[in-house]
Structure 1
Amino acid sequence: MDNLNLRLVSLAGAFAAITAPGAFAQGQPVAWSPSYVGTCATCELSGRNLTGWTLAGANYSDAKLDYSVMRGVQATAVNFEHADLTGADMRGAVLTNAKLADAIFAGTRLQEVKASGADLRRALLHGASLQDAVMIGANFEGAELIIARLEDADLSTANFEGAMLDRANLRGTIFNGANFTDARFSGADITGASFKDARFPGANLTTVKGFEEADFEGACGSVSTRLPPDTRLPMCTTAQLSARLGTDLD
């Protein structure tokens, strides 16, 4: 009987080792914990379950997090720069003031994410889902949101300078006070979107859908702004052009 019990304990231990959602940093094992706020740069966490983790202030730059489950993670000011989050489930995550520059979010589920003030410069969000997200004042400069879904999200005062929103679903999205200098909207659906006080110098909206159903009250453009036929925006003033991310620099 003692030998049988010993074998059962050994099997249970082996099973736990196989199924434990451990991580590896620099080739060294990182014990699973619901709170890991240290340095885990270049961590291999592909497909791992991080649900409920607290990553506030942690450094996960260059980490592999593709197809991981990160629903509801608390990651204020986390560093995910250059991280691969392809196909990850990040619904309801808190990424306020997070560093997400150059990160890959292709097909990532970001519904209801809270990411106000986040830095998403040059991030790749091809096919990402951001419905009902709150990303006020986020920086999407040079980001690619091709075929992304942002229905009913709030991105007021966000910076989309040079961003690509080709074929994106922007129905009902709030972009009040946002900066779209040199942004591209090829085939994007902006029906019901709000662009109050937004700036579009050099932007290309030639082929957007639903221009007449969007709210452009107080919005402005420039001589180089391209709009659908028979539509127009007033020229931006010097004060409007100097405003970035909702801050008047005059």
Structure 2
Amino acid sequence: MDNLNLRLVSLAGAFAAIAAPGVMAQGQPVAWSPSYVGTCATCELSGRNLTGWTLAGANYSEAKLDYSVMRGVQAVAVNFERADLTGADMRGAVLTNAKLADAIFAGTRLQEVSATGADLRRALMHGASLQDAVMIGANFEDAELIIARLEGADMSAGNFEGAMLDRANLRGTVFNGANFKNARFNGADITGASFKDARFAGANLASVKGFAEADFDGACGSLSTRLPAEARLPLCTTTQLASRLGSDLD
């Protein structure tokens, strides 16, 4: 093959590389474009800038996304189960019905996130920022929101059974109709929070700050619910607990 043909072959290869829809990350295809729906499980994307991407329905389970920039990401029904999102910037992301179970959100910026119906069971959210987030009906069962900031967020109808909210800032947060069975609030600030019709069977609120300034209209507890001195909640009825907790009032 003469030199001219060799140069043409090289140029063709270069153009093919530029035009390729993706690159490989730990053996998995990653499309470096603003819109990607597919599989990128276990991908190494630490520190990447994914601002404005569309990931609706994509599978990023166990992916490394720590310290990535994901502002405004459209990720309806995305799978981030067991993903590492430590320190990521996800402000304004749309995570409606997302699968986030067992994911790590330590120090993650989630302000103004829309995550209605999201599954956050056992998620580690130590120090996460969720101010003004809308997460109606989200499932936080056994999640750890220690030192998390939720000021002004709407968590109505959420499931916080067994969740840890120790030293969390819940000032002005809306938890109307939420389930807090066996949840823990050690040192949490609930000043101005709304817990209308919430259920606290077995929950520990003994050391919360601002109990008197929170709204517990229609809320209920159980014989094992721990409250600050002089605070009272009526016992939950079987009807109040039936949807999630059955008839166990202990």
Counterpart-to-counterpart distance in 2, 1:132 and 1:179: 20
Indicate the residue corresponding to 1:5 in structure 2. Answer: none
- Report the TM-score when normalising by structure 2: 0.88
SS at 2:212 equivalent? helix
Instruction: Report the equivalent of 1:208.
Output: 208
Return the alpha-carbon distance in structure 1 between the equivalents of residues 39 and 230 of structure 2.
54
Runs of at least 5 residues in structure 1 that lack an aligned partner in the other structure: 1-9, 246-250
Matches within 5 A, 1:26-65: 26-28=26-28, 30-65=30-65
Q: Map Cα deviations across residues 201-247 of structure 1 (whole Å, 9 max, x no partner).
A: 000000000000000000000000000000110000001111239xx
Give runs of aligned pairs for residues 43-122 of structure 1, distance below 5 A. 43-122=43-122
1:227 equivalenced with 2:227 (yes/no): yes
Number of residue-to-residue matches in the alignment: 227
> What SS class does the counterpart of residue 212 from structure 1 fall into?
helix
Asked whether the 8 Å contact 1:24–1:44 carries over to 2, the reply is no
Residues 29 and 39 in structure 2, CA contact (< 8 A), matched pair in contact too: no
For 1:150, the equivalent position in structure 2 comes to 150
Q: Distance in 1 between matches of 2:78 and 2:165?
A: 25
Return the alpha-carbon distance in structure 1 between the equivalents of residues 201 and 63 of structure 2: 36
- Structure-to-structure mapping, 1:168-247, within 5 angstroms: 168-244=168-244
Partners of 2:28 and 2:41 within 8 A in 1? no
TM norm structure 1: 0.88
What secondary structure does 1:240 align onto? helix
Partner of 2:166: 166
- Highest Rg: 1 or 2? 2
Instruction: Give the whole-Å Cα distance in 1 for the aligned partners of 2:240 and 2:140.
Output: 19
**4+ long deviations beyond 4 Å:** none
RMSD of equivalent CA atoms: 1.6
Displacement of 1:29 after TM fit? 5.2
Q: Quick one: percent identity of the two aligned structures?
A: 85
Cα pair 2:28 2:43 within 8 Å, conserved? no
Kindly state the Cα deviation for residue 28 of structure 1 after the two structures are TM-superposed. 4.5
Provide the C-alpha distance between the structure 2 equivalents of 1:178 and 1:127, rounded to a whole number of angstroms: 22
Aligned-pair CA distance for 1:23? 6.1
Alpha-carbon distance in structure 2 between the residues aligned to 1:146 and 1:54 = 30
- What SS does the corresponding residue of 2:177 show, helix, strand or coil? coil
Deviations 1:135-160 (A, max 9, x none): 00000000000000000000000000
Q: Distance in 1 between matches of 2:73 and 2:122?
A: 23
The one-letter amino acid of 1:143's match is: A
Tell me if structure 2 keeps the 8 A contact 1:153–1:173. Answer: yes
User: Conserved in 2, the CA contact under 8 Å of 1:23 and 1:45?
Assistant: no
How many angstroms apart in 1 are the aligned matches of 2:100 and 2:28?
25
- The 1:203/1:114 distance shift into structure 2, 3 A limit, reads same
Q: Deviations over 1:154-187 (max 9, x none)?
A: 0000000000000000000000000000000000
Amino acid at match of 1:76: V
Which runs of 5 or more structure 2 residues have no equivalent in the other structure?
A: 1-10, 246-250
Flag the 1:24–1:187 CA change in 2: closer, same or farther, 3 A.
Answer: farther
Question: Does structure 2 conserve the Cα–Cα contact (< 8 Å) formed by 1:127 and 1:149?
Answer: yes
Name the structure 2 match of 1:135: 135
Note if contact 2:28-2:40 (Cα within 8 Å) is conserved in structure 1. no
1:30-87 per-position Cα deviation (integer Å, ceiling 9, x unaligned): 2311011100000100000000100000000000000000000000000000000000
